[in-house]
Structure 1
Amino acid sequence: MKTWRRLTIPYLVWGTVMLLLPMLLIVFYSLIQPGNEVTTFRVTFANFIRFFTDKDFLLILVRSLTIALKTTLICLVIGYPIAYWISRCSARMQNVLIMMITLPMWINMLVRTYAWIGILSEGGPLSVVLGWFGIHTEILYTETAVLIGMVYNFLPYMILQIHTSLTKMDPSLVEAANDLGASPFQTFWRVIFPLSLPGVISGVTLVFLPAISAFFIPKLLGGGSWFLIGNVIENQFITVGEWNFGSAISVIMAMVMMLLMTLVRKADRKGTKGGKA
């Protein structure tokens, strides 16, 4: 037993140095006034009060939550049918299809997002196709462009999680529902969907959390007109140089994410109990 405990020491050290210490440093910076020396700092919540009393920052936070929610819903609507169709294929075909879905993820996300600038720009492939149908509209540097970039980058996470839950489902349950006279819709709604809820909840978590804190996707595809909370944090650290206020926003977002993850876990437990019942 002592040997196993010793083997965990490198992981504990790595977790402390790479995760715990940076978070403690961010919390420390968020609680001191800009320009104070480390030896003379005083604890203050001025940075947090500044964020919650500024309508512009609250508007950006609401906008970030809205964009993340829209991204998650679109990924769910598109990803669930795809995951369900893949799960109905043969094992060999499933491996091929999953490989095709994960293949773009091998390329750096920044490079993939840059590619969408050329696709969505005026005179690009999408603009030409829409022109064939008489649709002439500017897509790049709009909310639509940001949503396209978000969905494109985060959709695989939704598909993979739902597909995993569907493949673990016992096929005999579907056969039993069919034998009892259930329609295809009843079989899906009362058997398949409840059993796939753990995958849905995991997919929602893996899409919503990075979407709410994304900064280079809205920066590249939004052209600066769609400033989200991730861009605010980046701006405070790199451009403005207000590390204290940027740290405070980071702490606020960390608390929001922890709250959302707690709610997701509670929903996951309820869904698991309901599926077992």
Structure 2
Amino acid sequence: MQDWKLSRRFFAAVASAPIAWLFLFFVLPMAIVWGYSFGRNVGLTEIEISGTFANYGKALEPLYLEIMLKSVVVAAITTAICFVVGFPVAMAIAFARDKWKPWLLLLIMLPFWTNLLIRTYALLFVLGGRGLVNSGIEHLYNGTSLVSQLLGFGAFDPYQPVQLLYNNFALILGLVYVHLPFMVLPLYAALDRLDKSLIEASLDLGAGHWKTITRIVIPMAMPGILSGLLITFVPALGAYLTPDLMGGTDSQMIANVIERQFKRANDWPFGAALSFLLLYATFILIALQALRSRKEARQ
């Protein structure tokens, strides 16, 4: 491929369209919202950008800091569960036969072919009061009650559905359900590039599978693991749809608070400040990961 320094006009002409698109539909709107974060409402539809930091000060009040902290904790738990579940799956795909790898990867990527809203409603149908899980438990409960009645012990009380929705359990389960592929794919990419001979040598020397995984596989795949953790944590932190549909009143995350500021409260400056605090946190995480990768590349 030709070096862009030798044909700067050609590469500038090719890059001008995507750069213009990025500026008009990403940089410029983000700059407007960023300006709103330093403004205040002067009417129902008018915002005065006065340079005030009052919105950021309000965002640091205990109420919103608690919601932000809870969002971080929920995102961290989601990321940890995705790693525990996704690592064995990624290993299974990486060490599978070549003819099976494309099909296994296809199964991981299939959820991306379906709208997130549809997948969330499908999970609601499974976990609802009359959903598949509760229906299965109810049939088992009624069968046990019938056996007890036939044996003369008397029938059980009528079955009461288990509350599986609109709580923190449903929130974390939904986030894991949505973000698990984001963890599996980077882990697979890292594990697939490993030198298999080192793993075989570790096993031949009697290290065992667990020691081989903890002392050989995980350290060698650490860049991919960190990428998977970051790629999973960031969207989980800013998740909106899953907490809105599956979480209860005590399971709302920071993205739901931002949505209410823009829609119901009509306080765009405060919503913009909350949005950019979330964006600043994301940039810090990405910068730390980039610095770590650069440091490892120099060593």
Contact (CA 8 Å) 1:174, 1:187: kept in 2 or not?
yes
1:51 alignment counterpart: 59
The Cα of 1:41 is off from its aligned counterpart by: 4.1
What is the SS of the residue equivalent to 2:264? Answer: helix
CA offset digits 1:8-64 (Å, max 9, x no partner): 1112111111221111101110101111767x64210011111112x2211111111
Q: Secondary structure at the match of 1:141?
A: coil
Q: Which residue of 1 aligns with 2:23?
A: 16
Contact 2:76/2:233 (<8 A) preserved? yes
Distance 1:162 1:127 in 2: 34
Q: What residue number does 1:220 align with?
A: 245
Superposed displacement of residue 260, structure 1 = 1.6
User: 2:78 matched to which residue of 1?
Assistant: 71
- 1:42 corresponds in structure 2 to 50
* Residue of structure 2 in register with 1:239 after alignment: 264
Task: Report the equivalent of 1:166.
Answer: 191
- The structural deviation recorded for 1:241 is 0.9
The structure-2 alpha-carbon separation of the partners of 1:143 and 1:130, relative to structure 1 and needing over 3 Å to count, comes to: farther
More helix by share: 1
Q: CA deviation at 1:177?
A: 2.4
Of residues 143, 168, 172 in structure 2, which corresponds to 1:147? 172
2:155 paired residue number: none
1:25 is aligned with what amino acid?
A: I
Amino acid in the other structure paired with 1:103: L
Distance 1:24 1:262 in 2: 20
Q: Is the 8 A contact 2:39 2:51 kept in 1?
A: yes
The Cα of 1:266 is off from its aligned counterpart by 3.6
Partners of 2:129 and 2:161 within 8 A in 1: no
Q: Aligned letter for 1:66?
A: V
- State how 1:195-274 maps to structure 2 within 5 Å: 195-269=220-294, 272=296
Could you tell me the TM-score, scaled by structure 1's length? 0.91
When the two structures are aligned, how many residues end up with a matched partner? 272
Taking the aligned partners of 2:100 and 2:166, their CA distance within structure 1 comes to: 38
**Post-superposition shift, 1:268?**
4.2
- Please tell me the root mean square deviation across aligned C-alpha atoms, in Å: 2.2
Where does structure 2 lack aligned partners over 5 or more consecutive residues? 1-6, 145-159
- Unpaired stretches in structure 1, ≥5 consecutive residues: none
**Paired amino acid for 2:197:** S
Greater CA drift, 251-260 or 195-204:
195-204
In the alignment, does 2:108 pair up with 1:125? no
> 3-state DSSP class of the match of 2:39?
coil
Percent of paired sites with the same residue: 32
Amino acid at match of 1:248: A
Within 2, Cα distance between the matches of 1:166 and 1:41? 50
Whether the 8 Å contact between 1:157 and 1:206 is mirrored in structure 2 is yes
Q: Is the 8 A contact 1:201 1:268 kept in 2?
A: no
> 1:267 Cα shift?
4.1
User: Are the structure 2 counterparts of residues 226 and 128 from structure 1 closer, same or farther at C-alpha, using a change threshold of 3 Å?
Assistant: same
> Is the 8 Å Cα contact of residues 197 and 268 (structure 1) preserved in structure 2?
no
Q: Matched residues in 2 for 1:189 and 1:226: separation? A: 35
For the 8 Å contact 1:218–1:224, the answer to whether it is kept is no
Distance in 2 between the 1:252 and 1:20 partners? Answer: 17
Distance 1:155 1:28 in 2: 35
